[in-house]
Amino acid sequence: MHFDAIIIGAGQAGPSLAGRLTSAGMSVAIIERHLFGGTCVNTGCKPTKTLVASAYAAHLARRGADYGVMIDAPLRIDMAKVKARADKVIHDSRTGVESWLRDMDKCTVINGHARFESADTIRVGDELLTAPRIFLNVGGRAVVPDMPGVNDVNYLTNTGILQLDRVPKHLVVIGGSYIGLEFAQMYRRFGAEVTVVEKGSHLVSREDAEISEAIRDILLAEGIHIRTNAECITFKRHPDGVAVGVDCTEGAPEIIGSDVLLAVGRRPNTDDLGLDKAGVAVDARGYIKVDDGLATNVPGIFAMGDCNGRGAFTHTAYNDFEIIAANLLDGASRRVSDRLPGYALFIDPPLGRVGMTLTQAKATGRKLLIGNRPMTRVGRAVEKGETAGMMQVVVDAETKKILGAAILGTGGDEAIHGILDIMNAGADYTQLQWAVPIHPTVSELIPTLLNEMK
């Protein structure tokens, strides 16, 4: 069968691209071998943020007395109901994506495992499909680290843990970064004992030490155990679950957990696509190499989303689609390198980040203006009784451009967009400095912060 375009993978970028291409009159085949919607819908944003919301409700209920709301009966977590709520969100989103594609004019939906036969030919079972343009949107999966004994024990990844309809007695999280910390706090709030084991000296190592330590303090305050500098991590079976050996500078050398979550990174789903038959180049970790327009080294083949190593978020995958569609259909010349790095860590309170960290900005040698404010001095945070965290912004003193910002605090994942929008517009920080924001909000402190920079 011949098409104008073939899309492999129905994650965040693939379906939207199918919509643009078919609207332009092209015939499109979209191939999905497992679940429509990709990581975000099935094992990422949708279910985890639904669970985070349930965990927040439990946390707030426990704090009821702080607000004058007295809950006399002991708090009880119905984990089966919590899971059912997340499952419904997944199901509704997944079926929505699939129905949209199946009802799309000029779009042929194929279930199966796609493999390259050549640069313009894809095999799905016994069927051969050809197209002059092929778009890869195959996503990624959890890394299972090569640690002693890991294959001798039962472990969970971000996918498997979503199937739990119970609260672990003691959850040991291997990996102190974004995914691991979200699950750590979530299950602590559901009632589990939780220990986070991190090989590095700090949690979320890509963040500045000040931000990392503030995150650590938030988690410690909720009773989460944190073991950093874990140079050697081992696993072995134990009558109570799993014995995790840790070689840390302090603390016991062994942790007994009922369950273990591996959250040490992701890898691309590129190892079984037959990329070699098409001549598509990958890097040492398996990520598909792309240029600034997301084209591979083979003419007519593009890679979007997690599999290209140019972003590991739903919003960057969607932006990949926007770049490709604009360049192919609108005569634009958009580039990945123009994209501002922005993301969030969805613990509570969340961290919203955009642009450079303070460490990165200092490394450029520029003269900087830096603004800092603890959330204890943010009226909205005080009113909500949620004063953990801090705000920080970094500005180039000569160009007056904002280089980066971090808001770790209540509403930080939303408030950061005020800075992100100014940066995207290429405006000087002075355009935001004299803004008249809404009161009372977290965002209203951004102009104040800019006025206080030193």
Show which residues are catalytic.
439
The CB density around residue 214, as the number of other CB atoms within 10 Å, is: 23
- The single-letter code of the amino acid at 340 is L
Burial class (CB in 10 A: 0-12, 13-18, 19+), 72: exposed
Torsion of CA 308, 311, 317, 319, to 10 degrees: -110
Task: Classify the C-alpha dihedral 416-421-424-430 as positive or negative.
Answer: negative
d(CA 427, CA 425): 5
* Helix extents (H) in 209-260: 209-221
Answer for the pair 40, 169: CB distance below 8 angstroms, yes or no: no
Residues in the chain: 454
Q: Phi and psi for 296 in degrees, rounded to 5?
A: -80, -175
Answer for the pair 49, 56: CB distance below 8 angstroms, yes or no: no
Angular region, 38: left φ>0, alpha ψ -120 to 50, beta rest: left
Sheet containing 254-257: order of strands: 233-238, 241-246, 254-257
SS3 319: helix
Answer for the pair 36, 115: CB distance below 8 angstroms, yes or no: no
Q: Phi and psi for 214 in degrees, rounded to 5?
A: -65, -40
d(CA 17, CA 36): 14
Tokens of 251: 């603390």
